[in-house]
């Protein structure tokens, strides 16, 4: 099939989106920079101009997914006049709908995050600029892991606040949040855009499973039961 | 360091256990058959005698994890005289304690299962026995995915039964089970053997989050509320 000459005007975001898609179809190990370049009609050489390695590109995909989610969830955590329950409900909804809207990125957040920890360091004979690039990658990766922890802490803070005020049962906050985020992240594994339920409907279901564990029955809260 | 001559008497199970450990430390992409062979003091050539490819070895790791879990959970599903709630509690406990007892396999069940879908087919010039071996791998892989579905159905059946009998709220059974298994599987991602809580304690917490969503309050069940 004839192919148009490679278009060098493609932007960073288009590359990242295409990379997420190629990764979700082929997996991190089998996907090549050439596959990803072809998906945005770039030559492999000019893709390397944007991203020095497949690891760097994977990190960019995961960063995009995480920032997207944090940007939706962070504002909810500081909304005045909402109870902890109302905020938590809205946060779960944003998380799950975000995953369902971007299933390729959602799947990468589960399956490929591990690859970041196993990125290959440059060999002894590597050029100084490759060594430097790898060090920059490690710095950026550590910042990503800190952002991911900050994301988890947004959820912990809301649950903790509800427990402190007596609005919620005294659950083990870190474990509760890990169970909740496990269920939410798992949506990225099984969700299909042509499936039976929308992201909204799935979010409503999953919210309904976790909230009853937290919310005191009126009588219990008042010490009547 | 001097190394003992490769010991050819090592058995299949020892290889699989060592492979799970190497995969969890190095990741599927970076781990090599040579690493895994070294971990059990085999030559790479004799490891290939046991497993024709890294894909085949990964599949063996995942099969071992899944069978171990099914063997603990299946008997619970047919125990007479237990309510759906009692059975579900015991099943969640076995699942999570099993993951916590085998964190390397637990992590592989989340992170590496994807690689099975991206196994590289033999090239056009491959020897007939390699083509045959790949076809056998595909057959075995499909059987594994069916077993995994069967595992999920054990949970669905118990929840469904509780919903039918009116013991449980009418949740969306497939979604409820995916949320539950997502939370349980995620334990394999974050659990550390030297962490604050044992597998038992984590199982008790997570059970306590999911059961309240299912179990009707006495008054509600009797139509009094």
Q: What is the mean pLDDT of residues B74-79?
A: 94
Cβ of residue A9 closer than 8 Å to a chain B Cβ: no
Q: How many CB pairs under 8 A join A and B?
A: 110
Residue B37 has pLDDT above 60, yes or no: yes
Nearest chain A Cα distance for residue B209, angstroms = 5
Burial class (CB in 10 A: 0-12, 13-18, 19+), B170: exposed
Cβ of residue B4 closer than 8 Å to a chain A Cβ: no
Residues of A in contact with B171 (CB under 8 A): 205, 208-209
Cβ of residue A111 closer than 8 Å to a chain B Cβ: yes
Residues of A in contact with B217 (CB under 8 A): 217
Residues of B in contact with A183 (CB under 8 A): 178-180, 182-183, 186
Contact between B189 and A182 using a beta-carbon 8 Å cutoff: yes
Q: What is the mean pLDDT of residues B69-78?
A: 95
| Percent of chain A topping pLDDT 90 | 66
Backbone angles phi, psi at B33, to 5 degrees: -60, -30
Backbone angles phi, psi at B216, to 5 degrees: -70, 140
Which pLDDT score is estimated for B3? 44
Interface test with A, best of B103, B170, B178 (most A CBs within 10 A): B178
Cβ of residue B151 closer than 8 Å to a chain A Cβ: no
Structure tokens at A225: 């039961």
Selecting from A114, A183, A186 the residue whose C-beta is nearest the C-beta of B111 gives A114
Q: Convert the pLDDT of each residue in B183-219 to its tens digit.
A: 999 999 899 999 999 999 999 999 999 999 999 665 4
Q: Convert the pLDDT of each residue in B111-142 to its tens digit.
A: 888 788 888 888 889 899 889 989 999 999 99
Which domains does chain A carry?
1-51 (1.10.10.60), 54-221 (1.10.357.10)
ipTM: 0.87
Spatial neighbors of B80 by CB under 8 A, at least 6 apart, are none
Q: What is the mean pLDDT of residues B51-64?
A: 91
| C-alpha–C-alpha distance, residues B114 and A107, integer Å | 10
Spatial neighbors of A116 by CB under 8 A, at least 6 apart, are A55, A58, A59, A62, A141, A144, A145
Spatial neighbors of A33 by CB under 8 A, at least 6 apart, are A44, A47, A48, A51, A54, A57
- Are the beta carbons of A186 and B182 closer than 8 angstroms? yes
Q: What is the mean pLDDT of residues A132-156?
A: 94
Structure tokens at B21: 């450990």
Which pLDDT score is estimated for A19? 92
Nearest partner of B92 among B84, B103, B80, B104, judged by Cα: B84
Compute how many other C-beta atoms are within 10 angstroms of the C-beta atom of residue A141. Answer: 19
Contact between B118 and A178 using a beta-carbon 8 Å cutoff: no
C-alpha distances (whole Å) from B109 to each of A28, A210, B99, B102 are 16, 24, 9, 11
| C-alpha–C-alpha distance, residues B152 and B167, integer Å | 20
Contact between A171 and B120 using a beta-carbon 8 Å cutoff: no
Residues of A in contact with B115 (CB under 8 A): 27, 29
Which pLDDT score is estimated for B172? 97
Nearest partner of B118 among A174, A115, A46, judged by Cα: A115
Q: Convert the pLDDT of each residue in B161-173 to its tens digit.
A: 999 999 999 999 9
Nearest chain A Cα distance for residue B9, angstroms = 31
Q: Convert the pLDDT of each residue in A1-47 to its tens digit.
A: 444 545 557 788 999 999 998 988 887 878 899 999 999 999 999 99
Nearest chain A Cα distance for residue B79, angstroms = 26
| C-alpha–C-alpha distance, residues B148 and A218, integer Å | 41
Residue A219 has pLDDT above 50, yes or no: no
Q: Convert the pLDDT of each residue in A121-143 to its tens digit.
A: 888 898 998 899 899 999 999 99
For chain B, give the mean pLDDT.
Answer: 89
Q: How confident is the model at residue A217 (pLDDT cuts 50, 70, 90)?
A: low
CB contacts under 8 A, A 201-220 vs B, are 202, 205-206, 208-213, 217
| DSSP tag of A91 | H
Nearest chain A Cα distance for residue B183, angstroms = 4
Cβ of residue A49 closer than 8 Å to a chain B Cβ: no
- DSSP states of A194-206: TSSS-HHHHHHHH
Which pLDDT score is estimated for A225? 40
Contact between A208 and B171 using a beta-carbon 8 Å cutoff: yes
Interface test with A, best of B175, B195, B215 (most A CBs within 10 A): B175
Rounded to a whole number, what is the largest CA-CA distance in chain B? 77
- Are the beta carbons of A220 and B212 closer than 8 angstroms? no
Burial class (CB in 10 A: 0-12, 13-18, 19+), A91: buried
Q: How confident is the model at residue A195 (pLDDT cuts 50, 70, 90)?
A: very high
| C-alpha–C-alpha distance, residues A165 and B143, integer Å | 51
Contact between A206 and B175 using a beta-carbon 8 Å cutoff: yes
Which pLDDT score is estimated for B122? 86
Contact between A182 and B178 using a beta-carbon 8 Å cutoff: no
Contact between B180 and A178 using a beta-carbon 8 Å cutoff: no
Identify the weakest region by mean pLDDT among A39-53, A78-92, A197-211: A39-53
Residues of A in contact with B184 (CB under 8 A): 182
């Amino acid at each position: 099939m004839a192919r148009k000459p490679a278009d060098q005007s493609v932007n960073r975001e288009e590359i990242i989106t295409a990379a997420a898609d190629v990764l979700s179809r082929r997996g991190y190990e089998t996907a090549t920079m050439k596959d990803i370049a072809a998906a945005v009609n770039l030559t492999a050489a000019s893709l390397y101009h944007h991203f020095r390695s497949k690891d760097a590109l994977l990190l960019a995909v995961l960063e995009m997914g995480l920032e997207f989610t944090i940007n939706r969830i962070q504002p909810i955590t500081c909304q005045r006049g909402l109870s902890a329950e109302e905020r938590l409900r809205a946060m779960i909804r944003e998380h799950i709908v975000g995953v369902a809207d971007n299933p390729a990125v959602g799947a990468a957040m589960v399956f490929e995050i591990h690859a970041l920890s196993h990125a290959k360091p440059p060999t002894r004979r590597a050029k100084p600029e490759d060594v430097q690039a790898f060090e920059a990658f490690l710095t950026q990766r550590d910042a990503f892991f800190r952002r991911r922890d900050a994301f988890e802490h947004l959820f912990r803070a809301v649950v903790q606040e509800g427990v402190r005020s007596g609005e919620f049962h005294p659950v083990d906050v870190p474990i509760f949040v890990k169970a909740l985020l496990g269920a939410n992240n798992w949506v990225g594994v099984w969700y299909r855009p042509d499936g039976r339920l929308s992201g909204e409907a799935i979010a409503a279901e999953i919210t309904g499973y976790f909230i009853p564990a937290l919310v005191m029955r009126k009588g219990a809260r008042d010490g009547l039961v």
